[in-house]
Amino acid sequence: MSVNLNTVALTKRYGSETAIDNLNLSLESGQIVGLLGPNGSGKTTLIKMISGLLTPNSGEILVADKKIGKESKALVSYLPERCALPDWMKIGELVTMYKDFFNDFDENRAYAMLKDLDLDLKKTFKALSKGNREKVQLILCMSRNAKIYCLDEPIGGVDPAARDYILRTILQNYCEDSTVIISTHLIRDIEGVIDRVLFLKKGQVILNTTVDEIREEKKMSVDALFREVFAC
């Protein structure tokens, strides 16, 4: 068990709005963490800061004791909500590109998963359906042996069967040395898969506990608790 993520007094402002407010968080390895909160609570902002796409206004983030930079990015595997890959490339070329850029990338794993989905490596990314594009991005992301996986809304916008596939892929590539952070709205779907739950409200963590604790002590599902806590 090692601490993969550490934030100290992390703050991020957009103009007059505070997206992340003095956040102190520590996440250990071997966990799948659900980052839950309403729109605008700061989920994506936090994930982007961990991945190095945003710089905080103040405070610190450490990934496996490393500051955000070239070294930390080699340890973080980021799956954005949008399609970030050059869509003119063929699937096979994308695998090669990942292999080129990331030392921890396991191309055999990627090829195996792509084969399972019957995806032709010669097809261009552009030509795929939305669902398949998301799956390819996920496969590339999870074929790395990273310390932290940041998955931003990995199951939104796909059909239930694809959701099952995505969750199974996450479980399949789970590793005891890494931490998986999943940010999502679809709580009911991922409750069974996550260990730990973080409720994020207006840039602060208002709840940091395990799924089992919620179910044992409050005798309700995480989904039900969420609705209670964030009732409008």
Partner 1 sequence: MLGKLIKYDVKALSRYIFPAFILSLVSAIFLRINILLRNNVGENIFTNVMNGLSIVLFVVSVVAISIGAYIAYIIYFYKSTLGDQGYFYMSLPASADEYLVSKILSGAVLMLSAVLVSVLSLLILGAFNPEFNDAFKGLYEIWKEICKVTPGGKIIATLVINGVFSLFSTQFVVAFCILSGQLLGKKKILGAFLAYLVLQAIEGFFGQITLLATLGTINVDSFAYNDVAFAQLFTRLSTGGLIVGTIMMAFEYFVARFFLTKKLNLE
Partner 2 sequence: MWEFTNDRPIYLQLIEQIKLRVINGTYKPGDKVPSVREIAMEAGVNPNTVQRAFLELERSGILSTQRTLGRFVTDKETDIQNNRDDMAKEQVEIFVGKMKELGLSGEDVIRLVQAYLNEEGK
**CB of residue 16 to partner 1, shortest distance in Å:** 11
- Give whichever of 71 and 213 is closer to partner 1, judged by the CB atom: 71
**CB of residue 219 to partner 2, shortest distance in Å:** 6
Q: What tokens does 117 get? A: 């989905």
Give me the DSSP letters along 183-197: EES-HHHHTTT-SEE
Which one among 111, 215, 229, 230 touches partner 2, defined by CB under 8 A? Answer: 215
Q: How many CB atoms lie within 10 A of CB 1?
A: 9
User: What residues pair up with 150 in beta bridges, in sequence order?
Assistant: 78, 181
Number of residues that bind partner 2 (CB under 8 A): 25
Per CB under 8 A, 160 contacts partner 2: no
Which one among 97, 119, 186, 224 touches partner 1, defined by CB under 8 A? Answer: 97
C-alpha of 73 from chain center: 14
Does an H or E element contain 196, and which? strand 196-201
Q: What tokens does 136 get? A: 């390819």
Query: What is the total residue count of the chain?
Result: 232
C-alpha of 12 from chain center: 19
Per CB under 8 A, 171 contacts partner 2: yes
- Give whichever of 74 and 193 is closer to partner 1, judged by the CB atom: 74
Tell me, residue by residue from 66 to 105, as one string, x for binding to partner 2 by CB under 8 A and - for no binding: ----------------------------------------
Per CB under 8 A, 220 contacts partner 2: yes
At residue 143, φ and ψ (nearest 5 deg) are -85, 0
Per CB under 8 A, 155 contacts partner 2: no
